[in-house]
């Protein structure tokens, strides 16, 4: 047969003249000679089971010579089975002899020059064969990283954490091999980080941050309208303008810096340009690391929207009924070092909080601001944006304005501003604080300022509560119970119980009684009076000046 094969010039002629078996024999002989290199990587394996398989006996159309066997087969060390390099499979000695013939098979087994191969090399070749037989496995091994210990995976193309069930749907054919492949990438789950400072070790960590999207451009003329819009939103107030521009610049000059403050811009004026600036201009500076968020995200049980954020723009985030219930969440967003990320069907993880927040609203009170607040810069834009300025800003946004504005922000002198700088008090902020005060605190402020008929000095807590009740009724304020009012006010003034006083105060009255009561003590006792007499005088002076008559005393249980 060999002479007939050599008579043909190519495989097509060979196929036509000598048949397909002759083609097969010549190809197998050529591949077998490559085995002489004793290197499994020289071969292109095909999928085959790892267990030995039974093969049919040799036929006359498939003759073997000892030379063919020496090139094609290898003895596996140490288990004594035989490796078929052509079919990339292990076979038992009995199956080998049936394939090549008992006599020739035994001759090969006894030959000193036969090839040998280690079992671990066989396993490597089998895995390689299986890998090449699985569509998409190479890409899957490169793309997906198992996060240990968890049932989650990092998708390096989508740049997000996905669950194992989602991965099965994404790579249904390749999943089982990926899941068991020794070369599968593995990273500790705690080492999946969002680190805009880019200080994590790339050999042991996956950093979800890839850098800001824009290259700064030094062309102030290209952002002239943008800066004019910001000046208008600040109501041409130099103090507000300086603080706000530094607030915008700091996290861009120090990428990843977490400011402990936020901007609240609200106004009843529709069309002032709030969204045009904070969405249209600022978000392109942060690209994929920014988001515009609303009430749905704030009230959701899942917090994956917080992941990988440097800039969050919140618009009308609370309904009127929920604004008081979510202040803890807002405080955590602004000052929290870390945030807990919860994603549907994925186990949660802890992530560093690098998000700086802006809140926009058209409500008079988007949410309550505390009396001692240092977190919020509150701004109330007073006028609509000029149409010509709006057109200019819109044009700049589409023609390099954000990159030019970035270049301008990067050159701002921050002076002593840093991530812990407190937000300044503005008239708009004070108004918002006053608007959200509970009735007891508004009353206390009026009383302490001397704006009520009741004198600001030591008095019975029950008498002060009676004055508070009258004040609430006249102003249609929400009334607190006596105990809650007294407890709340004790945070401002010293409260003492079981203090003795005389009723009535005049010593000549035969039926004068010594009584005990709870007092708010505001001043020190003068040296000229005894303790009981001074307290008694305070009670009756307070009642007289407050206009608490007998009817008031009776109706309030005195």
Three-class secondary structure assignment of 34-50: HHHHCCHHHCCCCCCCC
Per-residue pLDDT at 249: 97
Residue 244 lies in a domain: yes
DSSP string of 320-379, one letter each residue: TTTTTTSHHHHHHHHH-SEEEEEETTEEEEEEE---EEEEEESSS-SS---TT--SEEEE
Task: Give me the domain span that covers residue 183.
Answer: 134-193
For the ranges 130-144, 389-403, 424-438, 493-507, the maximum mean pLDDT occurs at 389-403
Per the prediction, the chain carries an average pLDDT of 83
Q: Are residues 497 and 386 in the same domain?
A: no
Q: For the segment 139-170, what is each residue's pLDDT rounded down to a tens digit?
A: 888 899 999 988 899 999 888 888 999 999 98
Same domain flag for 275 and 414:
yes
- What pLDDT sits at residue 160? 87
Same-domain status, 127 and 138: no
Task: Say if residue 54's pLDDT is above 50.
Answer: no
CA distance 402 to 201: 32
The domain boundary, picked from 433, 462, 478, lies at 433
- H-run or E-run covering 66: helix 66-72
Question: What pLDDT shows up at residue 325?
Answer: 61
Contact 341, 304 (CB under 8 A): yes
Q: Which region among 67-71, 314-318, 419-423 has the lowest average model confidence (pLDDT)? A: 314-318
Instruction: Give the pLDDT band of residue 61 (cuts 50, 70, 90).
Output: very low
Q: Does residue 201 sit within a domain?
A: no
Task: Judge whether 173 lies within some domain.
Answer: yes
Neighbours of 345 (CB within 10 A): 12
Identify the residue with better confidence: 373 or 383.
383
pLDDT in tens, 491-527: 999 999 999 988 776 666 666 788 899 999 998 888 8
Task: Identify whether 421 is part of a domain.
Answer: yes
- The pLDDT confidence band at residue 460, using thresholds 50, 70 and 90, is very high
Question: Can you read off the two tokens belonging to residue 328?
Answer: 């803890």
CA distances (Å), 358 to each of 7, 283, 341, 373, 414, in order?
A: 84, 11, 20, 16, 20
Whether the pLDDT of residue 129 is over 70: the answer is no
pLDDT of 447 over the 90 cut: yes
Least confident of 57-66, 149-158, 247-256, 437-446: 57-66
Identify which of 414, 552, 419 has the alpha carbon closest to the alpha carbon of residue 473.
552
**Across residues 275-284, what is the average pLDDT?**
96
Residue from 110, 19, 101, 92 nearest 64 by CA? 101
Rounded Cα distance between 274 and 253, Å, is: 23
How would residue 52 be classed by pLDDT, with cut points 50, 70 and 90? very low
Q: In whole angstroms, what is the distance from residue 521 CA to residue 456 CA?
A: 10
Tell whether 126 and 143 lie within a shared domain: no
The number of beta carbons lying within 10 Å of the beta carbon of residue 428 is 21
Residues 189 and 267 in one domain: no
For 209, the token pair is 């941050």
Q: Are residues 406 and 450 in the same domain?
A: no
33-47, 190-204, 333-347: the lowest-pLDDT one: 33-47
Of the residues 392, 416, 433, the one at which a domain ends: 433
Please say whether the dihedral angle defined by the alpha carbons of residues 71, 114, 111 and 97, taken in this order, is positive or negative. Answer: negative
User: CA–CA separation, 513 vs 178, rounded Å?
Assistant: 90
- Count of structural domains within the chain: 4
Evaluate whether residue 209 is within a structural domain: no
User: Does 313 share its domain with 455?
Assistant: no
* 385 and 254 assigned to the same domain: yes
Of 383, 406, 433, which residue constitutes the final position of a domain? 433
Helix (H) or strand (E) holding 262: strand 262-266
* Region for 115 from its dihedrals, namely left if φ exceeds 0, alpha if ψ lies in -120 to 50, beta otherwise: beta
In the chain, % of residues over pLDDT 90: 42
Residue 308 lies in a domain: yes
503: closest CA among 466, 468, 543, 467?
Answer: 543
User: Of the ranges 286-295, 402-411, 433-442, 474-483, which is most confident?
Assistant: 402-411
Do residues 277 and 388 both lie within one domain?
Answer: yes
| pLDDT tens for each residue of 298-309 | 777 787 788 889
- Indicate whether 203 belongs to any domain: no
Q: Residue 218: is its pLDDT beyond 90?
A: yes
Instruction: Please report the pLDDT score of residue 37 as a whole number.
Output: 43
In terms of pLDDT, which residue wins out, 463 or 6? 463
* pLDDT at 50 (0 to 100): 43
Question: Would 215 be classed as within a structural domain?
Answer: no
What stretch of H or E contains 498? strand 494-503
370 and 260 assigned to the same domain: yes
pLDDT score recorded for residue 321: 55
- Do both 290 and 181 map to the same domain? no
Mark whether 389 and 242 lie in a shared domain.
yes
Would you state the pLDDT for residue 153? 92
């Amino acid at each position: 047969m060999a002479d007939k094969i050599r008579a043909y010039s190519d495989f097509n002629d060979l196929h036509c003249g000598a048949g397909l078996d002759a083609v097969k024999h010549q190809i197998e002989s050529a591949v077998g000679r490559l085995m002489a290199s004793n290197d499994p990587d020289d071969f292109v394996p095909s999928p085959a089971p790892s267990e030995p398989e039974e093969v049919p006996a040799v036929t006359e159309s498939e003759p073997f010579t000892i030379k063919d066997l020496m090139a094609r087969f290898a003895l596996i060390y140490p288990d004594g089975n035989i490796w078929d390099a052509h079919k990339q499979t292990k076979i038992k000695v009995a199956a080998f002899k049936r394939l090549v013939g008992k006599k020739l098979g035994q001759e090969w087994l006894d030959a000193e020059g036969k090839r040998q191969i280690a079992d671990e090399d066989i396993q490597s070749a089998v895995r390689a064969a299986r890998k090449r037989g699985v569509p998409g496995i190479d890409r899957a091994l490169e793309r997906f990283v198992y996060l240990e210990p968890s049932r989650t995976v990092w998708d390096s193309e989508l740049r997000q954490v996905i669950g194992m069930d989602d991965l099965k749907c994404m790579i249904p054919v390749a999943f089982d091999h990926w899941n068991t492949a020794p070369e599968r990438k593995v990273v500790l789950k705690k080492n999946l980080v969002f680190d805009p400072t880019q200080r994590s070790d790339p050999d042991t960590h996956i950093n979800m941050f890839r850098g800001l999207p824009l290259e700064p451009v030094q062309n102030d003329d290209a952002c002239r309208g943008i800066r004019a819009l910001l000046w208008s939103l600040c109501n041409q107030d130099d103090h507000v303008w300086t603080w706000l521009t530094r607030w915008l610049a700091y996290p861009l000059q120090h990428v990843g810096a977490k400011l402990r403050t936020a901007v609240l811009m609200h106004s009843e004026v529709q069309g002032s340009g709030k969204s045009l600036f904070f969405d249209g201009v600022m978000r392109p500076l942060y690209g994929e690391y920014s988001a515009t968020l609303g009430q749905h995200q704030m009230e959701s049980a899942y917090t994956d929207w917080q992941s990988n954020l440097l800039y969050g723009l919140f618009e009308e985030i609370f309904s009127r009924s929920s604004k008081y219930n979510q202040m803890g969440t807002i405080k955590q967003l602004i000052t929290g070092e870390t945030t807990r990320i919860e994603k549907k069907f994925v186990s949660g993880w802890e992530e560093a909080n690098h998000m700086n927040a802006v809140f926009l609203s058209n409500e008079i009170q988007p949410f309550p601001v505390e009396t001692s607040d240092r977190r919020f810069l509150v701004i109330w834009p007073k006028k609509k944006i000029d149409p010509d300025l709006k057109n200019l800003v819109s044009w700049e946004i589409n023609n390099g304005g954000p990159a030019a504005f970035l270049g301008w922000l990067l050159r701002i002198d921050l002076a002593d501003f840093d991530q812990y700088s407190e937000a300044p008090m503005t008239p708009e902020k004070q108004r918002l604080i006053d608007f959200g005060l509970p009735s007891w605190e508004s009353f206390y402020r009026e009383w302490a300022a001397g704006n009520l008929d009741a004198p600001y000095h030591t008095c019975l807590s029950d008498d002060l509560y009676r004055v508070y009740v009258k004040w609430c009724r006249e102003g249609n304020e929400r009334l607190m119970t006596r105990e809650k009012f007294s407890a709340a006010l004790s945070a401002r003034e010293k409260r003492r119980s079981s203090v003795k006083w005389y009723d009535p105060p005049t010593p000549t009255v035969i039926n004068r009684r010594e009584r005990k009561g709870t007092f708010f003590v505001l001043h020190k006792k003068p040296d000229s009076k005894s303790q009981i007499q001074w307290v008694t005088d305070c009670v009756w002076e307070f009642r007289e000046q407050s206009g608490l008559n007998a009817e008031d005393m009776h109706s309030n249980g005195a």
